[in-house]
Each structure stands twice: as structure tokens, then as C-alpha cells.
Chain A
């Protein structure tokens, strides 16, 4: 009996591999290509015929003219080819040191601003690629960005508003501001038709 069962085992691994490992994923790929082509390919953002990033993947920003995203634990930061979190435990001295340094960096970039720093600006995201920051983090940085660009705070906050996503049905998840799209928008401000 067992040799026959072993033969069935081999045949069923092959048959089910064909079904669930080739037919199924290729059918979904085809369907995705028809229904949601842009999203299936990674929600890529194009400017002047070039890919400048993905709407879902953050990028590193360091200039005071740009909104900064969450700290990233990948090497180098925002390495979209190798996602990772910091995996630092809550009592790890390395975590406290990193947070203290990030608070200081934000303070140095905007010395007049003394209010406490929103926690998401100084803690690394889970993927290292988080495309969003909290509304509080956007508001905190808006002063610095407005000053560096010579824009009115209200205009910067209006741009923030354009790239803010709410909770789903007002309940699920948390609101967020897409940093890359916001920065692209700011670069386009005052250049009509640039988009």
C-alpha cells in the first residue's frame, strides 16, 4: 500500500504545485494587470519620463526645505531592496541614545521650536520604508519648511492637507501624511503646470 501512497504523494505535490504555484499566481498577475495596472507594478511616480519613487515607499530627506520621514533602520536608510526594522528592545540603551540624537537633530534644524517632538519622528518604522508621518509630525515640521522655502505657513499646511489620508471609514488604522508626494508637491508650488 505504501509504495502506491508514495507515488500519489509525488504526483499530488506536482499537480498542486502546478495549480497553486503557477496557475493561481499567474492568473492573479493577469487579473491585476487588467484591473489595477499601476498598483500591481508598485504605484510608481513618474516625473519628466523618469521614475522618481513609489507613492508607497518613503525616501530619505535631510534638507530643511523638505519634510522628513520616519527614521529608517535599513542600511542605507530607506533601502527598498532590503526592508527591516531596528528590532531594538524598549530598554536597550542604543534605542534611547538614537532617540535622543534624533530629538536634537530636529531641534538643531529649527531652534525656535521648543514643543515636544511627536514620537513617530524619532522612532524607526517597522519596515524602514514607511511613506507616511503623523499629522502631528507634519505640523511640527511645517514651520521649518515654510521658513526654509520662504512660503507662508498656511500654504505649507494646505499642501499637507492635500496629502493627508484619513482613517478608513473613520475607524480603522491611523491618519497619515505621504511625505514623498508632499515634497514633490512643494517643489512644484509656484511652477504652474509642473505636474
Chain B
């Protein structure tokens, strides 16, 4: 890791951490139902949506009602997205005459986008019509993100309210998230991205007569270069901000039309953790003690920084096997050096490795370099961040409610150690909360590891692998970790657009999303019904450095104990092989 790499990491962290307080405070106002003056302009839109949808925003819901509304909404969205893909050949805005998407791929993509995973089983520019990209993928990018944030808001109300049977109104939370948070931020980002060269057009693909008419290997002169276009900027903005990650183009944010310059890269990279990090402050603010939010943000950042460093350093170190071939991998003012396979010149090492860590810390899953071609340890970093259950910033809303599950477990364990009644934010943590937290924490590792085991044991699973040796196993492990934790990035060499993987990964995404969101809502309902316990000398403070490190310890321990054996078979084995060969 050299000085340039270090500086880029520092700038990256500084900018999004600086945005946490202002954005977090703004979001707290929105979810408390007070619209700040700066955003009143959008109020007619909010009211119009309530009227169109038939929503009474002040109607309160029990946790069951809230969960039912969320599930019904997701089911309707899933069906709409499936239908749109299957019928796209009969609908307008399809200038390239794309055929209907296959049933299994449509199913996978519909679940993937409704669950905020945005696993990219499809190749954007070769599969999807402009209408599907806009009316299907862009829409789900907004609403799945808003849905995650709504569950978060409901959980906070569970802590704040006393002896209450209700936790808010799902429709109001979801619509407010779209109207006041996601839509304005996306519009600004989309225009900034177009200024950098991200395409935003409804014209058909361009045809260019190339400069050099070099004959190909069969002696054929090349046809024209077909240049895929489309309404990309509007989708990319929300795909980054909503921790979605499904690309407009197959190569995702490595594609020059999706991410053309170092500045566009920086904006996209900041966007992908922005809201998730700022929600920590929202949490503290709504809970009436901002220190609680800072403590969770600190815990996340403490886990993030060493993994960020490991990722950048491993990629900058390059591939030892190249040295003998006469390749110059040194970092110098004239070149980034390091492991450039699968990376773009304009991003080099630092911007690619920071992105890889950020996109997997936040459950975004967009990529600007091909993770499959990372060095073994460089590829272990994104995998590990996913396998820590996406609580290091995590998905918008889902990352924070995941972290709060860990905080509940941490409070409980600390209480057991010192013999105090466990309390968090003034609410007693009892057996029901612990059951819900345990389910929420254990579901996604179970899906990831069981899915990996099934795929590695089946011929249909092994057939998708593209790299030999332990790296092939890493491809499978990455795919199931990514889907079960709703990340969506991939070791993309895996041929996952098959009925086998579309179905199995679809199920992993489904369980990984709802079997965390439902226990969280159940916990919110149970907490809201409780009385608040006044703070006393016996209360364990949950904003101190001691608690932060204890929480970090719990997150790392659960993740490491669960996944270490699998990681040892994949990236760690490959690292030892590579190191042995290189020396």
C-alpha cells in the first residue's frame, strides 16, 4: 500500500463520515413525520401518492399488520417485475428487439430486485429492454431500499414507544423514504453522473465504423462496433444510493458508460455507503440519545478499516506468478501497478479495492472491477464483509437493523457475564427478543453454507464453476454468501444463469431477506409493548468504547466461527498455493 492508496482511502472515509450527521438528522425528521422546510416542495407529491394508493398515513399498524403490508407490497412488486420481463418483447421502449427473458431468469431477477439483493444473473445490455430497466429494475431499486429503511424506522419506534401496540404505518414510511430521501438524492446524482459521461438516452444502440479494419482470427473483417446505450444514469444513481447494485450493463460499474471517470467513481462509491452509514445517526436521534448511534457507527468502522487495508494492500501486491513473465507490476507515477486483471485503467488499484470493500460492507453488490480476478486475500475481503451478515454499514435499513440484532445479543451476553438484567435503550431484553435476534443472525449463514454445500455436491452446481482448484469453490461460496446476505456481487466466472442456480440462489435471497426482516418486526412489536426501565447504577452503558469493542468482538466471532472452515477451503487455500508458487 503506497501513499496514494492511503490518501484515497482517507478521503473516502472522511467524506461519507462527514455526511452522517446532516443526512442522518434529516432522515430522522422524515421518519418522525416532520418535514423540514427545505423539503416542503415535495409534500404535494407525498400527499398525491397517499391519495393514489388509498393510504391513510396516520393509521397505526401492529407489527403483524406492518409485516403483512410489507410482504403484500413485495409480492405485488415481484409479480409486476416478473410479468414485465416475460412480456418485454410485446411492450414499447424496446429498440433492440430484446426477446422475453427466460422464466427461471425472470424469477431469479424478480426475487433479486424485490429483496434488495440485485444479484445480476442477467447481462443487462444483451437481455433487458429499456422499459424493463426503467419500469422494472429502477422501480424495485427504489422501493426495496425504501422497504428496508421502513423496517428500520419501525424497529426504532419499538425502542422508543412505551406500552404501545403499534409501530407505525408501513405505507407512509415507505412512501416518505422514496419521496423525501431516495428520489431527490438520486435525481441529483443522476445528473452529476451524466455530466461525467454516463449515458441517459432512449435512442437505439449506436453503430460505429471502427478506425482500424483488422481482420479477426477467421480472416473476417469486423462488422461495425455496436455501442450499447440506454437510460443508464437514472438507474445507476438509485442502484448505488439504495444499496441495490444490479447494473445497467453486464460489466456493472466497470463499464465506461456506467462509470466513466475517477469523479463518477468517487460519487458512486460514496453513495453506496452514504445512507446506510447516516441511518446510524438517525437511529440515535430518534432514540433520544445520539451517542447510541455513534457507538454503532464506530463499531462498523472499526471492522471496516482493517479489511479495507487488507484488500488494497493485497491487490497492490500483485500476482507473484507474473514477475517471471517479464511483467512490471510496481506502483509508479506512470502506472498503478499491482494486480490489474479485471480492473480498469482509470480506477487502478486503490479505487477498485476500496470499492470492493465498500460494496460488500454496504450490501450494495455493484462492482467496478471483477472480484473473481482479485488475488486470493483481495477476494477474501469482500467475501468476509458479506459473511459478517452485512452489518458493517450494510443495506439501507437492513444493515442497521442487523447490527442492532448483534447489539441485543451483546447486551444479553454482557448481562450474563456480570449478572445484570440485560437492557438496551431502556427496554428489557428477554427471551422473546433473544429468540428473534438469534433467528435473525443465524438464518443467512445457514442459507449460505447449506446452499454452498448442496451446489458443491451436485453435478449441476459444479458445472457452473469456471476456475480450477480452490478458486472454483470460492466462486460457489461467494455466490451463496452474496445471495443469502442480499449483497448481489459475484465471483462472476460462475455460470449462474442456469435453472439450478437461478432457483437455489433465488431461495437463498428470499430466506435471507424475509427471515431477518420478520423477526426484526416481531421484536419491534414486542419492545413497543414494554415499559421503559429508568436508567440506574445497574444499567450497562451501551455507548462506551468498552461496549463498542465488545460488540465488534461478537460480530467478528460469530462470523469467523461460522465461515472460517469454508474460507479455509477457498481463498485461504488458494493464497497458500499462490504464495508457495511465487517464492
Give residues in A with beta carbon < 8 Å to B. 1-2, 5-17, 19-22, 24-25, 27-29, 31-33, 35-36, 39-45, 50-57, 59-63, 66, 70, 76, 78-93, 95-96, 99-100, 103, 115-120, 122-137, 139, 165, 167-168, 171-176, 180, 183-184, 187
Contacts and interface: CB of A to CB of B under 8 A. Distances in A.
6 contacts: A7-B54, A8-B69, A20-B238, A59-B225, A83-B255, A136-B334
A81 B574 contact: no
Contacts of A76: 216, 222
Given A9-B72, A89-B467, A117-B327, A28 B200 contact: yes
A117 B324 CA distance: 12
Interface string B310-346: 0000000011011001111100111111111111111
B80 A17 contact: yes
Contact of A32 (B205, B233, B338): B233
A56 B228 contact: no
A31 B442 CA distance: 46
B143 interface: yes
Interface string B461-479: 0000011110100100000
Given A59-B212, A175-B334, 15 more contacts: A13-B80, A41-B199, A52-B211, A60-B212, A90-B574, A95-B341, A119-B337, A123-B341, A123-B342, A126-B343, A127-B251, A168-B261, A173-B265, A183-B211, A183-B212
Interface string B538-573: 000000000000000000000000000000000000
Nearest to A1: B65
A20 B142 contact: yes
A168 B262 contact: yes
Nearest to A61: B212
B256 A173 contact: no
Contact of A88 (B255, B344, B467): B467
Interface stretch (B184-192, B279-287, B381-389, B426-434): B184-192
A35 B468 contact: no
B376 interface: yes
A86 B342 contact: yes
Contacts of A6: 72, 76
A170 B134 CA distance: 36
Contacts of A15: 49, 52-53
Contacts of A60: 210, 212, 214, 222
B194 A32 contact: yes
Contacts of B225: 53, 57, 59, 78-80
A163 B75 CA distance: 51
Nearest to B372: A87
Contacts of B457: none
Contacts of A8: 53-55, 69, 72, 171
A125 B255 CA distance: 10
A25 B332 CA distance: 42
- Which are the 7 A-B pairs with shortest beta-carbon distances? A173-B262, A126-B254, A174-B348, A87-B493, A85-B370, A83-B251, A89-B471
B203 interface: yes
Contacts of B229: 41-42
Contacts of B43: none
Contact of A173 (B53, B191, B216, B261): B261
A41 B203 contact: yes
B212 A125 contact: no
Given A12-B73, A41-B201, A123-B341, A53 B256 contact: no
A35 B195 contact: yes
B208 A9 contact: no
Given A19-B49, A123-B340, A13 B191 contact: no
Contacts of B178: 16, 19-20
Contacts of A9: 69, 72-73, 75-76
Contacts of B235: 25
A136 B335 contact: yes
